[in-house]
Structure formats: C-alpha cells, structure tokens
Amino acid sequence: MDSSQARVVAAPADTSGLVLGAAGTGKTSAILARTSRLLRDGEVGPDDVLILTPTRQTATDLRDRVTADLDIATPGPLARSVASFAFQIVRARAVAAGDPLPQLLTAPEQDAVIADLLEGDEADAEDGGASRWPESLGTAVRRSRAFRSELRALFALATELGLAPADLERLGAERNNPVWSAAGSFWSEYRYVLSRLRPTHRDPAEMLREATEILHRAPVAGVPRVLMVDDAQELSWGAVALLEAARIRDIAVLAFGDPDVGSGAFRGAGPETFARLASMFSERFVLQHPYRSRSTLVRVARTVAGSIGTAGAAGHRMAPDAGLPPAERDDVPGADGEISTMWASSPHEEFDGIARALRSWHVTEGLPWHALAVIAHDTRQVARLTAELAAREVPTRAASAARPLGEEPAVRGLLQLVRLGMAPPSERPAEELAAALTSPFGGLDAIGLRRLRAVLRTQEFAGRAGELQPNFSPKRWRSLLRCC
C-alpha cells in the first residue's frame, strides 16, 4: 500500500466517504486490504461488513479474492452485487412479517413473458384489432431480441425513477412520443400478468426500489453496518437511492470510483448518478499512484479527461504521483516511453496504418508477434480487425467474446439430440430429426441425407418401414421423407 491507500485502509470502521482514483490506482486492492484489516483487528464481525459491486460477475471475482488469504470463518459471501444486497433486505423483511418469500425474476424469464405478450399483440392485430405500437415499430422489430431488451431496460429505468405505467403513458402524450405511450400501455399489461402468474417475483429494479422503501421505513435486522462499494461510477439510480437509504440508517458507506470511466450506461449509470452519490459524502480520499500504466500514458489519459466536464468530483485528475513522497513514486528508468497518434481518413487507411506499425515493430525492432496487441472498442471491431490484418500479412489471434453456454452450436446440437431421445418416437418432429442427422453428431451431409431418403422410400414402398424403427408410424416416415 502506498500512503494514499494506507489512509483508506486505516480509516475507522464507521467512516463514510468517497474514494476517488484514476484507473489502475489500486481502488479494489484498497477495498480488499481494508476488509481484511477490519476483520483481523476485530473492529467488525463477518456479519457486519460487505463489499458491493454493480454486477454479479465482479462480485464473484471479489468474493474469491477477499477470502483467499483470510483465515476467518464467514457466514456467507463477503462480496455481493447491489441487486443481491437488495434481495437480502426484501427477504429479511418478508421473513420478519411472515409473508411469502420473494423470488428474483431473471432476465430470461422477463424476456419470455414479454415475448408472449408481444405475440398476443400480433395476434390481436391479425384479428382486426388496433395495434398499440406505432408503424415505426413493425412486426419484424417487435419480434427481435434487441427490442425486448430495450423494453426491459426502459421498464427498469422507469421503476428506478419512481414512474408507473400511467406516468409513462402520460409523458408520451405530453411529449408527442407514441413509443412511450405504447410502452406504458404494454408495461401495464406486463405487470398485471406478472402479478397473476408470479406474484412473489420481482425484477432487479423492483427489488432495489422495494429495498430502498423498506430501509426508509424502519431498520432491518441482519443488514451489515459497513458497506464498501467498488466501481461506484457504474451504479444506477436505484442503487444510489439504496445507498442513500443505508446512510439514513447509520450504515457506513465507503464508495470507490472513477468518474472518468463508465460502461454501464445501458443500465442507467451516468455522470448524474455519480454526482448524486458524491453529494452524499463530505469526506473524500484520493488515490494517487498509478500502478498499471507508464507515466506518459497516465498524463495523456488525464489530459484528455481534463478537457471533459466532470460530475461531482475531479480530485483524481492530478499529475502522476502528485502528493506522494519520493520513495513511493514510480522512478523506473525509461518509464516515460513514447506515444504517437495517427489520423486516418477512412477505415481502410486506418487498417493500413495499424498493419504498417505492427510490421515495423516486428521487423525493425525485433518484437515477436505475441508481444504486440491491438485494442478495439468492441467485439464487432475485433472481428473485422482480425480479418483485415490477416489480409495484410499480419498474423492475428483474437480472444473470443464470452457467450452463454446454451448459444454454443455444439451445446445446442447436443441438447437437441437429448430432447429428441427423451421424446416418444411418435412425437419427434421430422424437421428436427433431419436437422439432427445433418448435425456434427449425426454425421450426414446433403448427399448422405438424400441416400437415406432413397433407402427409406424404397423400404416404405416395400412395406418394411417398421424394420428401421418399430415404434415409428408410416405416417411419420412419410413426414420425414417430405422433409428430406
């Protein structure tokens, strides 16, 4: 720990404040060290300290890291997502009141309900009913997964802002926005269906709002008295409101963040939310030593950030190691390095410039290909860069983006085979059987499928179709032949 981190780690357990630090200044390391110190010194018990993060993925990572070197038994995970913390509060309240226990409505479950309701809208329109959706949102748009995701995001943000379906319809009428009006009407129907089918289920936004209201009304048993928040700049409106309610209940909140970094805008995070969070605290800490970057790169990044407006805090925008004693500064020889900029008039010129620079470093400076990297904005650019650089004689290897296991072709094909095997022979769709035969597991190509079709047709004409599958009716064989 440098001296700026040490001040955070040594702060008393009841300290509430904002810890600012640019990227790579050790915010997460300070959180882990502070948690370990509080538990080892006995200032708090394992039940009274919790690390919060905006997402479940980062919470899982911190959960493993905080317990790796900790020889103290804990009753549960020491790191959780904000939504999980809200669920804990709502569940504790339900247990105390003897109400049915709440359940979290997952994104796939929400997507399935929304898809069913959209299909109902489509069926009503085909039967002659008036469509609630404007013409700009046609049937093809409403059938897409992206549209359903946008609806979920709209409902979540409206919930966090305290809006009801009627409010969304009213705002649509006032601002002449038919999309909002249609979404408000659809949202009302969606909530009605959920209240009938799944009365105990709540989506994450509803869970956050309900937990906030519970904390405003009365204290809740079992809630930790020390909260530390990592990546606080990624918090949504609902998460910030929950932390405000926690401060009302005298729960210590220490939020760590960098307002110049943000990737959670699609969840409602933004400069305004961080400014609201910063206004909660009078005490502030600033982490000053950059651990992951050379000083030249740090200066460039902070110069660019300094030309952009800030929300709530700007104390982290300082020269590298400013305010630190000389012994803690990064005085590695050659640490400055060199940064150059290239302006391209077209994407093709940009690809040419990147390939030229990579080849130059490899040939003239002797750098191996595996020591060179190209950083892109998103995975779509990565895919195009891979193809374009390979065409320019630059060997490339791209890390594939993580996908849900169910979307992998091999997994989908295997699950389809399992489903077909579990279904009764008379209920196996011919189209799915043909797809299974031509899958990597079936091993047939188009020619093999035609040969199978010829064999089946010959045996059916000879009245021997049952020899291949005793439980498969001739009608089903004919269906398979038509499919083939």
Q: Which residue has the higher pLDDT, 456 or 370?
A: 370
* Angstrom distances, CA of residue 416 to CA of 404, 424, 426, 427, 432: 16, 14, 16, 14, 8
pLDDT bracket for residue 475 (50, 70, 90): low
Extract the tokens encoding 56.
């479940």
* φ, ψ dihedrals at 50, nearest 5°: -150, 135
To the nearest whole number, what is the mean pLDDT of the chain?
Answer: 84
Please write the tens of the pLDDT for every residue from 379-394: 778 888 988 998 998 9
Per-residue pLDDT for 354 more than 90? yes
> 167-213 pLDDT, tens per residue?
999 999 999 999 999 999 999 999 999 888 888 888 888 999 999 99
Residue 144 has pLDDT above 60, yes or no: yes
Alpha-carbon Rg for the chain in angstroms: 29
Inform me whether the pLDDT recorded for 436 exceeds 90: no
- Report the distance separating Cα 447 and Cα 143, nearest Å: 35
Instruction: Give pLDDT tens digits for 358-378.
Output: 999 999 999 999 999 999 887
More confident residue, 214 or 262: 214
Residue 59: how many CB atoms within 10 A of its CB?
22
Cβ neighbours around 444 below 10 Å, total: 15
Beta strands in 150-278 (DSSP E): 201-202, 226-229, 252-257
For residue 402, what pLDDT is reported? 60
Residue 291 has pLDDT above 90, yes or no: no
Q: How many Cα atoms are found within 13 Å in the side-chain-facing hemisphere of 326?
A: 0
Give every CB contact of residue 337 below 8 A, 6+ residues apart in sequence: 294, 296, 297
Percentage of residues in the chain having pLDDT higher than 90: 36
CA distances from 343 to 78, 346, 348, 417 (A): 47, 9, 12, 52
Q: Are 235 and 244 in contact (CB under 8 A)?
A: no
Nearest residue to 219 via CA among 101, 48, 89:
89
Non-local CB neighbours of 342 within 8 Å, separated by 6+ positions: 350, 353, 357
Residue 484, pLDDT score: 46
Nearest residue to 232 (alpha-carbon basis) of 419, 20, 73, 482: 20
Tokens of 205: 């936004």
Report CA-CA distances (Å) from 454 to 450, 465, 484.
Answer: 6, 12, 10
pLDDT of 410 > 70? The answer is yes
**What is the value of pTM for the model shown?**
0.72
Return the pLDDT at 312.
62
Residue pLDDT, tens place only, 247-258: 999 999 999 988
Per the model's pLDDT, the better-predicted residue between 478 and 362 turns out to be 362
Instruction: pLDDT band for 106, please (50, 70, 90 cuts).
Output: confident
Query: Given this model, what pLDDT does residue 180 score?
Result: 92
> Among 133, 146, 144, which residue's Cα sits nearest to residue 179?
133
The fold of the 3-98+206-286 domain, in CATH, is Rossmann fold (3.40.50)
Q: What is the pLDDT of residue 333?
A: 41
- Here the tokens at position 469 are 């599958």
At residue 104 the predicted structure's pLDDT band, cuts being 50, 70 and 90, is confident
Mapped onto helix, strand or coil, the DSSP state of residue 36 is helix
Rounded to whole angstroms, how far apart are CA atoms 424 and 411? Answer: 22
Q: Is the pLDDT of residue 423 over 50?
A: yes
Least confident stretch, 34-43, 79-88, 300-309: 300-309
Half-sphere exposure of 107 (CA within 13 A, CB side): 11
Distant-in-sequence, close-in-space partners of 385: CB < 8 Å, separation ≥ 6: 351, 354, 374, 376, 396, 398
205 neighbors 156 (Cβ within 8 angstroms): yes
224-248 per-position pLDDT tens digit = 999 999 999 889 889 999 999 999 9
Higher pLDDT, residue 338 or 42: 42
**Cα 198 vs. chain centroid, distance in angstroms?**
25
